[in-house]
Amino acid sequence: MTDPFLTAAPVLKQLEDAGYEAYFVGGSVRDFLLKREINDVDIATSATPAEVKKIFPKTIDIGIEHGTVLVLVKHGAYEITTFRTESEYQDYRRPKEVTFIRNLKDDLKRRDFTMNAIAMDRNRKLIDPFNGLLSIQKKVIQTVGNPSDRFQEDALRIMRAVRFVSQLSFQIEKGTVQALATLVHLLENIAVERKRVEFEKLLIGKNKRTALTILLETNIYLYLPGLKDNRQFLEKMLGFESPDLKMNEIWSLLIFCLNLKEKEIEVFLKEWRLSLKEIREIQRIVHFLYIRLDQEWSIYDLFSAGRNTILSTERVYLVINNIKETESLQRWIDLYDSLPIKDRAEINVSGNDLMALFNKRGGPWLKETLLTIEKKILAGQIENNIEKIKEWLIKCNLK
């Protein structure tokens, strides 16, 4: 496995050689200390954005007003952010003003939780002025400084704290959770899109059950789309272990728990700002899930659902019924793979063929006849051959 810190170390060295401080910061350092997989690293430096751009020939201004420049080097692309302090926050989310500074400790001081306020130099030496390593060792989520101040600066931190409970299986420190519960109403000021990101990460975490319990006990759920009046239904999620479900499958499980009718699903998911494509995929899973909960898959339902929807539906079905074995997944896929056709377009007769055969114009009869042919082919009662189909139609006098 590639070591992202080793790969990025030359970037830090280049900043240091130019006379500036540079460190790895944030979640990548935390995850390194937890021995978790690290996808990318963030770099903080005493160099201003203008100074960073002088050092590296290829850069992109992705958030330069907040001190962030994307640096493109031979071995990758890295976000480099200048040490900064932040003035009074507005809308409980964004600072009114950012001031670039040269002091690392003051930069770390503005961060949310102590476990995220650790810096590491290119030689793996830690700079930890707020005892973040101790928090990690104790598996505690604690704000940097006064928790009320941190949550009033950025109310999304309320959800981030609970999300970390799910992801890391940490506990929230007593004073932090008390402030969180007191200030939960500030979530009204946070955009749904940002809440969704945290909520989805929470739902796929290994310690989801504890995190959901906190959502209920602290009333966070009251400020999440479509959940305000559904506490008793949301509690059903606590009864399901779903470590291997994909995101759309988890949304489908949540919809099942909320007991939403099919016509209510789109409204609920639109409130969460899901894309139309995601909504349609989830609607398909839920549609076939409700059928699957009543009966086993029919040949026609397998055909109508398609491979991906079959797999997703069956995975959610197994979770709901607390079935650990997954042999049924392969059984239904094998049956699907054996179908003579997988799509209506594969039928070797068209509407024009039928109109010509019976010398009739189109109408409801045409759709009904094509549907009958489709079902007969799937049942193995007709061969998918235009002459065989015509022969069967004439024999059955389907005009």
Q: 3-state SS string over 228-260?
A: CCCHHHHHHHHHCCCCCCCHHHHHHHHHHHCCC
129 backbone dihedrals φ, ψ, rounded to 5°: -70, -15
Q: 3-state SS string over 24-65?
A: EECHHHHHHHCCCCCCCCEEEECCCHHHHHHHCCCEEEEEHH
Residue 396: predicted pLDDT: 76
Helix axes 262-271, 276-294, angle to 10 degrees: 150
φ/ψ region of 142 (left if φ > 0, alpha if ψ in -120 to 50, else beta) reads beta
How far is residue 144's CA from residue 355's CA, in Å, rounded to a whole number? 75
Residue 369: predicted pLDDT: 83
Residue 1: predicted pLDDT: 56
Q: Cα dihedral angle (251, 257, 258, 262), rounded to 10 degrees? A: 70
Task: Report the run of H or E that residue 79 belongs to, with start and end.
Answer: strand 76-82
Residue 189 DSSP SS3: helix
Contact 348, 384 (CB under 8 A): yes
Residue 88: predicted pLDDT: 61
Residue 350: predicted pLDDT: 83
Q: Tokens 């059903």 — which residue?
A: 236
How far is residue 226's CA from residue 228's CA, in Å, rounded to a whole number? 6
Q: Tokens 């063929």 — which residue?
A: 353
pLDDT tens column, 236-253: 999 898 878 999 999 999
From first to last of its 399 residues, what are the pLDDT tens digits of the chain?
A: 578 999 999 999 999 999 999 999 999 999 999 999 998 899 999 999 999 999 999 999 988 888 899 999 988 899 999 999 875 655 555 666 778 899 999 999 989 999 999 999 999 999 999 999 999 999 999 999 999 999 999 999 999 999 999 999 999 999 999 999 999 999 999 999 999 999 999 999 999 999 999 999 999 999 999 999 899 999 999 989 887 899 999 999 999 999 998 889 999 999 999 999 999 999 999 999 999 999 999 999 999 999 999 999 999 999 999 988 778 899 999 999 999 999 888 888 888 888 888 788 888 888 888 888 889 889 888 888 888 888 888 887 654
DSSP annotation of 300 reads H
Contact 183, 158 (CB under 8 A): yes
